[in-house]
Amino acid sequence: MRKEIIAYLKKRHNVEFLVLVIIALAGFCVLFFKPYRIHDWVIANQPILFWSEIGVMALIVVVLLFEIADSHNLIQVLQTREGQEAAERQTMYNFYDERGELKLSVKPDACYYLESADNYVQIYYTNAGKLQSLMIRNSMKNIEWRFQDSQLVRCHRSYIVNVSMVQAVRRVEGDIVLDFGDDKIPAIPVSKAYSEQIMKYFTNN
């Protein structure tokens, strides 16, 4: 999302700069080259048109400068926040609901997998050696985006797994499943859409 925002801001600035160039070229063509001598009115009002053109261009330049400054500040804030969240994910996995309220904070080596449940997500983790779960109102897509640079990896439409906790990758009747090496924790299926990504992770690591 942050990359999309930054890309959008850059595109917007490019469009505004292009509009400025078009206005400038059109103005100079009318005022100095006078193609086809566009009516006597244009010729008679050259000073007014000239200073109007200069005023419009100056206004656009000022607006562009302010927007570039605001966008630069926004990008810095996003980059700082991203760095803070990356550092945060090294020590704890913080799970928020769709309103941004913190619902669960758990160490990475205690979080096993997440399961989609309509508009909710069920988080499975261990506490005092016991497997527990907590349901929060959020989407798998939001959580996948938030933890995109962590060990929490999407492996199925309905599952996100902590790949660092996986003990074995098995094929069962042609399908790939991820095994945590604990009878209390079920094996998690890997769908074909995510199989290549998952296998690359375990092959490279």
Domain end call among 90, 121, 138: 90
54 and 150 together in one domain: no
Residues 6+ apart with CB under 8 A from 12: 67
Angle (nearest 5°) at CA 158 between 166 and 82: 75
Could you tell me which residues are beta bridge partners of residue 111? 125
* This model's pTM is above 0.85: no
154 and 137 together in one domain: yes
The pLDDT, as a whole number, for residue 41 is 46
Q: Of 187, 169, 177, nearest to 112 (Cα)?
A: 187
Q: Count of CB atoms within 10 A of residue 197's CB?
A: 12
- What range does the domain containing 20 cover? 2-90
21 and 57 together in one domain: yes
Contact 139, 147 (CB under 8 A): no
120 and 194 together in one domain: yes
pLDDT in tens, 28-52: 665 555 544 444 545 555 666 566 6
Domain count, the chain: 2
116 and 30 together in one domain: no
81 and 160 together in one domain: no
pLDDT bracket for residue 1 (50, 70, 90): very low
104 and 199 together in one domain: yes
pLDDT bracket for residue 24 (50, 70, 90): low
CA distance 112 to 125: 5
Most confident region among 79-88, 134-143, 170-179 by mean pLDDT = 134-143
Contact 120, 136 (CB under 8 A): yes
Q: What is the CATH number of the domain that holds 185?
A: 2.40.50.1020
| pLDDT over 90 at 139, yes or no | yes
25 and 104 together in one domain: no
pLDDT in tens, 143-194: 999 898 889 999 999 999 999 999 999 988 888 999 999 988 999 999 999 9
- Residue 7 structure tokens: 């890309």
Domain end call among 90, 111, 134: 90
112 and 193 together in one domain: yes
Domain end call among 42, 62, 90: 90
pLDDT in tens, 107-132: 999 999 999 988 999 999 999 889 99
